[in-house]
Structure formats: structure tokens, C-alpha cells
């Protein structure tokens, strides 16, 4: 639609705006004004890639979906996925919200009645994780939806073929139902003859997965006599043995902590359709996670989670244990000078929206309050976990913190200017310092921090280096000459043994910013943010060749690990990421025997993320796997005490369908389920996983080769047919036909 519209025409993306508000009446008025433009708008995605129909599914309201579907699927751009998720899959994901469930079921029924739409093999579609509609019906425990798809599938393909298909995590539909405790779906799947003894890619039946969840309802739905079954998983365990081994701890719960101040940090406005693109780190991230009816952490899998919202700000003494007072006061003063947005004219909003602490990190009046509240949330989580009221905790906070050093930005050889990468206060290090300083009497002596954000946790590393006395020389120029200043740096948490009692490991991408060499050659000299974090762990050679980074300090800090993974095509980096964590990081974490484990939980390494330049290329089940493994290490070393602190992850497009939402949910689900188990991490289990994953890689390669071979045969047959076809003289043919008539 043209930008220079007259007053009586509607603006760009106005359809999506009205649909999100649920205003059917206003939509009807727009159609009356200009039917042609209205119909064109129905097929146009907004600047987040959402069509009007996607928007109606993500923000369902009474009558809206039926109204839009009435224009015919051919006018609704139904073949465009929502962030990699097809239409039916998107509807199923929305069934996870209890308040939207009946509306989604109704709409799925309407869709399935449209033979013209469904006859196009819709039930065969898969999302970007390889899930069929049956997999997602199992996730949300919806036999109602599955029965609709079963009727349509029978017309095109044997239903069992769909039920036995594995997703990218290696699970069949029945396994997914067992994993998500979907007892009703299990009953339905068995009624249509799903194979109850089928194995997933890790040698488990659905019985073993349900037993690992200690889920009696699902076990009984599978077979009321499950305790008598002798079938063993790949590690030689029966379902009963798994169930009996994994006893539930006394404080078997996970707590999520969130304070509304997280919404008050406003570096530029949030996303507005057709408006200026906001920074990747904006309040829409919180909306995608915690807002009822929209946020994925409010869906049914988390209905029993304990939420804490009344949370204090951090005490200044706890902040100054990590940051310099001059920096904290500077941050506080800068924010105080910015008028509140509600008091400003439009011109002033634009002026103050650019108020930045550096080119990456913008501020608003409430940014300091949000930052010190985020640090306080982590300290509150420490209280709850250490005192035993909860087994683990997830701090849903912003602004993030792991790039914030003692004085804010941290520079390096590849970026001598530096920036804070959206971070203000280092939440996770403040929480770690708080734990070691305040809970000596509770036995909290050894602290571990694992940072799995796609970007090096340079701020956290710099904060931890100041656990030992150091001096740093600064050179500077004045109008009258050059000078230098030697600064003493030391921020102890308890005593001179601090540095020997803190293990830090950052696993991240490291290398050139444009590894694919798609941009201007001059741009290829830049490094992937923040340009630091070359691998310093003996025996691991992963980083690109680099002679700029100085590693002389590394020997002084044997417990500060950096593992920089270079860019690799396909899934090689993802496989390397798992291998390094499994064979080096997790064993080291176990050997260190921490009393408390912190996670700097960043999700910007996902393959669909916006800011990782192709580094890592992870899937959401990778985050789930790592979190499960860390929880098992915590069970073995520190009574399951894990505190996760949100860092990066910015692709919220499509809300519940977004890579950010799905990755956070996978991580959070592993915390919730992990809190209910005492299972410990074992080398035997990791070695078995390695073998299974290697088999999956081979299987995937063979499947790809078979598909390519079949495609070549079809192409060859087509070419042969074309070569054998005789030329037709259509003029002579027409004359012959006329003669015969």
C-alpha cells in the first residue's frame, strides 16, 4: 500500500493493528472504504513477517478468526509460515494457553472443514523443528485436534506413517506426548494403534520417558501394568527402575522471578508496526515471555510454577562489590536527567530516545531503576534457593548484564573502543558475589557461572578478574601534553581465596563478523561482538587464528574459561558446541564441586536469531539438553541449586512461534522438570548420548542422500520422457481434426 495515502485510505499495517485489538467493526468499515486495497492487505505481512491471519491467531478474539477465514484461504497468504511455523502448527501452539484453547479448537475445526485447503497435504507439513501437526497436538495434549487431522490424513497417507515420524530431537509422536505429560493424547494415540514399544533416537520407549518424569497418569495411560514391563532403554534400565531411582526431592519446585520494572527500561520505543526499528533489546522481549495470553511462560506447561513478583532492588553495597561507585553514580545521574516520556512532545521523545551510554546501549529515565531491580531479583533468587524454599530459580530480567564490567564497557584488541552491548549492571556476578559474601554460614563457598549466550561474557570475566589485586596503566593526552595514571583494581567478595573458589566458563561464537563474506570487503575486518573470548582452555582448538588477543593473563586465572567456537557451515558448530560442553565443560563443572551454579542464559545462538551472524546455529532442544545436564550436575554437587539469569535472545517475531520464546520455554521446562528429580550427571550417560547423536547424524545424511537420489531419478525420467516425445505439427493436426469433423 502506498505511503502517500489520502485521509480516507487506511495506513500501512492498519489491518494488523485492528486485528490485534479485536475490532471487527473497524475492519468492516475499512473494507467498505476500499475493498480492493483491503483484500490486498489481507495477504501482506507486517514488518515482523506476520500476515493479518497470523496476527489474528497470535491475538485471538471472539469472531475475528471466523471473520477473516470468510474471505477465503486463497486471499490470506496461508502458505507463508510464521517464523518457520505453518498455520496449523501456529494454531496448535496457541492451544497451550488455557484461555485461548477452545477458540483455537473451534478455528481448527473450521479450517479442517475446508477441503480445498486441507487437500493440499496440510497434515504432512512440518515446522522448522521437524514437528508434524501430530507432534504439536501431543505437546498441547489435544486429542480433539489430532482427531481432526487423523480424518484428513487417512485420505492421503497411512496415519501410522505420520505417528512414527521423528522430529529433529529424535522423538516420535507418542514420545512427545510422554515427555509433555499429555495423558489424554497418549490414550488417543493408542486408540489409533500407535506403537507403544517404538524407540526414539536415544533408545527410549514412551514408558521410559514418562518414568523419567515420574508421571503416573501417563504411565497408566500407556499401560496400567507398566511396573511389570521388562523392556529396557539404551542404558539397560526398565521403566520401574528409572521411576524408583529418580526420587523427588523435598523442595521439588522451580520458582520464576519477574518484576514489572523490567518493562520500564525504554531504550527508544518498543516495536511499532511501520515505525523505526527499535534496538534488539527492548521490552517486547518481556511481553513475549510473561504477559498473560501472549507470553510463553504463561502457558499450560508452566501452570504449576511458583511466580514471585514482589521483589526488592539490590542493596547498593551488593552492587559495589562488583561495580565501581563512579560508574554506578554516573549511570544513576544520566538516567535522572532524562524526562519521563509521558511529559515530552513528539520531537523531544525522538531527541531523548537517542540518549545513549554508548552507541549500543540507550537509556531512559527508568533504566537505572530497572537495572538495580534486575540485580535485586537475582539476589532474591539466591535467598530462596540457598534457604531451600525452592530447588532452582529462573530470573526473567532486563536489561541483561554479562557485557557490563566494573566500569561499564570492556575493551579488547579487536574493539579498542568497546561498548556495553545493551547491559548496565552485571546481574549474574552481583548475584554470585552476594551468595558467597552472605551465605558462608550456609556452606556457600564455591560458585560456578556458566555463560551460554552466543556472545562472550566479557563483562563477567572482567569483574571476576578483579577478585585478585591488579594494577592497570592508562595513558591519556591533555592540551598540555601526555600523561598516565596507574589504577589499583581489587573487588573482593570475601577474602584472598575468592578467585580459587569461582569457576567461570563462557561458550560463545568467536571470529570475523562476516564469516560468509557477504558484505563489503572493508566490513569483513570487523569481529563478531565483542571481539574477545578466544579459547584459552588447553587441548581445545576452536577459535580462528588470531595474534591480537593477549593471553598472558590466562595463566593467572585457571578457573576463568573461554571457549570461542568459530563459524562453521551447516550443523557442525552446533555439534561442536555439544561435544565441548559434554566432554570438557560439564566434567570440569562436576570436578569443581560448586555449592551453587549460576547460568548466564542467553538464547541468541539459535539458528533463527537476528544478531548471531550465523554463529553456533542452535535449536531450542539444545538449550533444553544443556539445562538438563547442568541440573544433573547440580544434583550431584549442590543439592540441585541452580539460578538461571536471562541474558540475550532477541527474535520475538511471531511471539509464541518465535525462536526466542521457544528457546526460553525449552530452558525453563528443563528447570521445572529438573527440580522434581534427583538424577545425577554421569559419564556413562553422556557417552551413550554421544553415540546416539552420531547415529542421528549418519541417519540424517543417509536420508538426505536418498532424497537427492530420488529427485535425480525423477529428473532423469522427466528428461527421458521429453527426449522421446515427437514434435507435434499443430497446424496439420488442426486440419486433420477439421477434416474428420
Which of 320, 413, 410, 311 minimizes the C-alpha distance to 361? 410
When pLDDT is cut at 50, 70 and 90, the band that residue 6 belongs to is very low
Domain boundary among 169, 192, 215: 192
Same domain? For 674 and 625 the reply is yes
Per-residue pLDDT tens for 489-498?
A: 999 999 999 9
Same domain? For 622 and 735 the reply is no
**Which cell numbers in the block locate residue 706?**
536418498
**Which cell numbers in the block locate residue 27?**
475492519
Q: Contact at 8 Å (CB) between 273 and 13? A: yes
Please report, for residues 14, 16, 27, 122, 668, the alpha-carbon distance to residue 42 in angstroms, rounded to integers and kept in the order given: 11, 9, 11, 21, 36
pTM above 0.85, yes or no: yes
Residue-level pLDDT at 339: 77
Per-residue pLDDT tens for 316-330?
A: 999 999 999 999 999
User: Which range is least confidently modeled, 106-110, 351-355, 359-363?
Assistant: 351-355
254-280 burial: b if 16+ Cβ within 10 Å, else e: bbbbbbebbbbbbbbbbbebeeeebeb
DSSP 492: -
Helix axes 24-33, 14-21, angle to 10 degrees: 150
Cell 514488518 belongs to: 47
Residue-level pLDDT at 465: 98
DSSP 427: H
464 occurs within a structural domain: yes
Residue-level pLDDT at 737: 47
User: Which range is least confidently modeled, 476-480, 493-497, 576-580, 673-677?
Assistant: 476-480
Residue-level pLDDT at 720: 65
Domain count, the chain: 3
Same domain? For 658 and 734 the reply is no
121 occurs within a structural domain: yes
Q: Contact at 8 Å (CB) between 105 and 142? A: yes
18 occurs within a structural domain: no
Give 375 or 153, the one with higher predicted confidence: 375
Same domain? For 701 and 677 the reply is no
Question: Does 655 have pLDDT greater than 80?
Answer: yes
40 occurs within a structural domain: no
Phi, psi of 307 (to 5 degrees): -105, 140
Same domain? For 332 and 439 the reply is yes
When pLDDT is cut at 50, 70 and 90, the band that residue 297 belongs to is very high
Rounded Cα–Cα distance for residues 646 and 384 (Å) = 17
Rounded Cα–Cα distance for residues 265 and 283 (Å) = 7
Please report, for residues 218, 322, 560, the alpha-carbon distance to residue 466 in angstroms, rounded to integers and kept in the order given: 51, 9, 12
Contacts of residue 108, Cβ cutoff 8 Å, sequence gap at least 6: 88, 91, 92, 145, 148
Same domain? For 594 and 704 the reply is no
Which CATH number does the domain housing residue 130 bear? 1.25.40.20
Same domain? For 185 and 305 the reply is no
342 occurs within a structural domain: yes
Structural domain including 394 reads 254-681
Burial tier of 39 (Cβ tally within 10 Å: 0-12, 13-18, 19+): middle
Burial tier of 224 (Cβ tally within 10 Å: 0-12, 13-18, 19+): exposed
Which CATH number does the domain housing residue 268 bear? 3.40.800.20
491 occurs within a structural domain: yes
Residue-level pLDDT at 121: 84
Give 668 or 346, the one with higher predicted confidence: 668
Q: What is the mean pLDDT of residues 215-237?
A: 96
Helix (H, G, I), strand (E, B) or coil at 485: strand
Per-residue pLDDT tens for 9-42?
A: 567 789 999 999 999 999 999 999 999 999 999 9
Question: Does 435 have pLDDT greater than 60?
Answer: yes
Cα 100 vs. chain centroid, distance in angstroms?
A: 23
Per-residue pLDDT tens for 531-577?
A: 999 999 988 876 555 656 665 566 789 999 999 999 998 889 999 99
224 occurs within a structural domain: no
Percent of the chain whose predicted confidence (pLDDT) is above 70: 90
Rounded Cα–Cα distance for residues 452 and 378 (Å) = 18
Same domain? For 185 and 318 the reply is no
Cell 512427545 belongs to: 176
Rounded Cα–Cα distance for residues 408 and 558 (Å) = 24
Same domain? For 528 and 578 the reply is yes
Same domain? For 487 and 537 the reply is yes
Same domain? For 672 and 611 the reply is yes
212 occurs within a structural domain: no
Question: Does 651 have pLDDT greater than 50?
Answer: yes
Residue-level pLDDT at 719: 67
Q: Which of 35-39, 640-644, 681-685 has the highest mean predicted lDDT (pLDDT)?
A: 640-644
Beta bridge partners of 502: 447
Contacts of residue 740, Cβ cutoff 8 Å, sequence gap at least 6: none
Q: What is the mean pLDDT of the chain?
A: 90
Per-residue pLDDT tens for 112-141?
A: 999 888 887 899 999 999 999 999 999 999
What's the sign of the alpha-carbon dihedral 134, 137, 141, 142?
A: negative
Same domain? For 359 and 295 the reply is yes
Per-residue pLDDT tens for 71-117?
A: 999 999 999 999 999 999 999 999 999 999 999 999 999 999 998 88
Residue-level pLDDT at 344: 53
When pLDDT is cut at 50, 70 and 90, the band that residue 3 belongs to is very low
Long-range contacts of 486-492 (CB under 8 A, 24+ apart): 489/406, 490/466, 491/321, 491/322, 491/406, 491/463, 491/466, 491/467, 492/467
**Which cell numbers in the block locate residue 317?**
553495597
User: Which range is least confidently modeled, 247-256, 607-616, 703-712?
Assistant: 703-712
Amino acid at each position: 500500500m502506498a505511503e502517500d495515502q489520502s485521509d480516507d485510505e487506511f495506513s500501512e499495517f492498519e489491518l494488523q493493528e485492528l486485528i490485534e485489538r479485536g475490532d471487527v467493526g473497524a475492519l468492516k468499515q475499512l473494507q467498505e472504504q476500499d475493498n480492493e486495497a483491503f483484500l490486498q492487505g489481507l495477504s501482506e505481512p507486517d514488518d515482523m513477517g506476520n500476515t493479518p491471519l497470523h496476527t489474528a491467531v497470535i491475538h485471538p478474539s471472539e469472531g475475528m478468526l471466523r471473520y477473516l477465514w470468510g474471505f477465503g484461504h486463497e486471499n490470506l497468504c496461508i502458505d507463508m509460515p510464521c517464523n518457520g511455523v505453518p498455520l496449523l502448527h501456529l494454531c496448535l501452539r496457541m492451544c497451550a494457553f488455557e484461555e485461548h484453547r477452545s477458540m483455537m479448537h473451534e478455528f481448527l475445526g473450521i479450517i479442517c472443514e475446508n477441503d480445498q485447503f486441507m487437500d493440499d497435504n496440510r497434515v504432512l507439513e512440518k515446522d522448522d523443528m521437524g514437528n508434524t501437526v501430530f507432534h504439536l497436538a501431543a505437546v498441547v495434549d489435544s486429542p480433539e485436534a489430532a482427531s481432526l487431522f487423523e480424518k484428513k490424513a487417512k485420505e492421503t497417507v497411512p496415519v501410522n506413517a505420520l505417528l512414527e515420524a521423528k522430529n529433529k530431537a529424535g522423538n516420535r509422536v507418542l514420545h512427545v506426548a510422554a515427555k509433555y505429560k499429555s495423558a489424554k493424547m497418549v490414550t488417543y494415540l493408542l486408540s489409533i494403534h500407535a506403537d507403544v514399544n517404538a524407540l526414539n533416537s536415544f533408545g527410549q520407549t514412551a514408558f521410559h520417558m514418562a518414568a523419567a518424569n515420574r508421571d503416573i497418569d501417563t504411565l497408566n495411560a500407556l499401560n496400567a501394568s507398566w511396573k511389570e514391563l521388562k523392556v529396557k532403554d539404551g542404558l539397560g534400565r526398565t521403566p520401574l527402575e528409572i521411576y524408583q531411582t529418580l526420587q523427588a526431592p523435598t523442595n521439588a519446585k522451580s520458582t520464576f522471578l519477574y518484576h514489572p520494572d523490567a518493562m520500564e527500561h525504554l531504550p527508544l520505543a518498543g516495536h511499532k508496526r511501520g515505525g523505526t526499528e527499535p534496538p534488539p533489546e527492548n521490552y517486547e522481549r518481556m511481553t513475549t515471555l510473561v504477559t498473560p495470553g501472549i507470553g510463553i511462560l504463561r502457558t499450560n506447561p508452566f501452570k504449576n510454577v511458583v511466580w514471585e513478583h514482589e521483589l526488592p532492588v539490590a542493596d547498593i553495597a551488593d552492587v559495589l562489590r562488583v561495580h565501581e561507585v563512579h560508574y554506578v553514580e554516573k549511570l544513576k545521574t544520566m538516567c535522572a536527567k532524562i524526562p519521563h516520556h509521558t511529559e515530552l512532545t513528539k520531537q523531544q521523545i525522538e531527541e531523548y530516545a537517542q540518549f545513549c551510554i554508548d552507541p549500543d546501549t540507550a537509556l531512559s529515565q527508568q533504566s537505572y531503576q530497572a537495572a538495580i531491580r534486575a540485580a535485586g531479583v537475582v539476589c532474591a533468587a539466591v535467598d530462596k534457593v540457598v534457604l531451600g524454599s525452592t530447588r532452582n530459580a529462573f530470573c526473567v530480567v532486563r536489561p541483561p548484564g554479562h557485557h557490563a564490567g566494573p566500569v561499564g564497557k570492556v575493551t579488547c584488541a579487536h574493539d579498542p573502543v568497546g561498548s556495553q552491548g545493551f547491559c548496565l549492571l552485571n546481574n549474574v556476578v552481583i548475584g554470585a558475589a552476594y551468595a558467597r559474601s552472605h551465605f558462608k554460614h550456609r556452606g556457600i563457598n564455591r560458585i560456578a557461572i556458566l555463560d551460554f549466550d552466543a556472545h562472550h561474557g566479557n563483562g563477567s570475566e572482567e569483574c571476576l578478574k578483579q577478585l585478585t589485586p591488579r594494577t592497570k596503566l592508562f595513558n591519556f593526552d591533555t592540551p598540555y601534553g601526555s600523561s598516565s595514571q596507574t589504577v589499583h583494581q581489587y573487588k573482593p567478595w570475601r577474602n584472598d581465596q575468592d578467585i580459587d573458589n569461582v569457576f567461570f566458563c563462557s561458550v560463545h561464537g568467536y571470529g570475523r563478523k562476516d564469516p560468509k563474506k557477504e558484505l563489503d570487503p572493508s566490513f569483513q575486518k570487523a569481529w563478531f561482538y565483542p571481539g574477545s573470548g578466544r579459547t584459552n582452555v588447553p587441548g581445545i582448538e576452536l577459535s580462528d587464528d588470531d595474534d591480537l588477543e593477549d593471553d598472558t593473563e590466562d595463566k593467572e586465572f585457571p578457573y576463568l574459561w573461554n571457549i570461542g567456537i568459530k563459524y562453521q557451515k551447516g550443523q557442525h558448530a552446533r555439534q561442536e558446541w555439544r561435544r565441548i560442553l559434554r566432554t570438557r565443560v560439564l566434567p570440569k563443572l562436576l570436578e569443581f564441586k560448586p555449592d551453587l551454579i549460576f547460568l548466564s542464559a542467553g538464547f541468541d545462538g539459535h539458528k533463527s536469531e537476528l544478531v548471531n551472524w550465523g554463529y553456533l546455529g542452535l535449536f531450542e532442544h539444545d538449550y533444553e539438553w544443556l539445562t538438563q545436564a547442568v541440573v544433573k550436575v547440580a544434583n550431584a554437587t549442590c543439592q540441585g541449586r541452580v539460578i538461571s539469569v536471562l541474558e540475550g535472545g532477541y527474535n520475538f517475531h511471531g511471539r509464541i512461534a518465535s525462536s526466542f520464546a521457544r528457546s526460553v520455554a525449552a530452558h525453563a521446562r528443563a528447570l521445572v522438570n529438573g527440580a522434581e528429580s534427583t538424577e545425577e550427571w554421569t559419564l556413562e550417560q553422556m557417552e551413550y548420548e554421544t553415540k546416539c547423536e552420531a547415529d542421528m547424524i549418519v541417519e540424517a545424511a543417509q536420508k538426505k542422500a536418498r532424497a537427492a537420489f530420488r529427485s535425480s531419478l525423477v529428473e532423469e525420467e522427466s528428461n527421458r520422457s521429453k527426449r522421446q516425445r515427437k514434435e507435434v505439427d499443430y497446424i496439420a493436426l488442426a486440419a486433420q481434426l477439421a477434416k474428420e469433423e
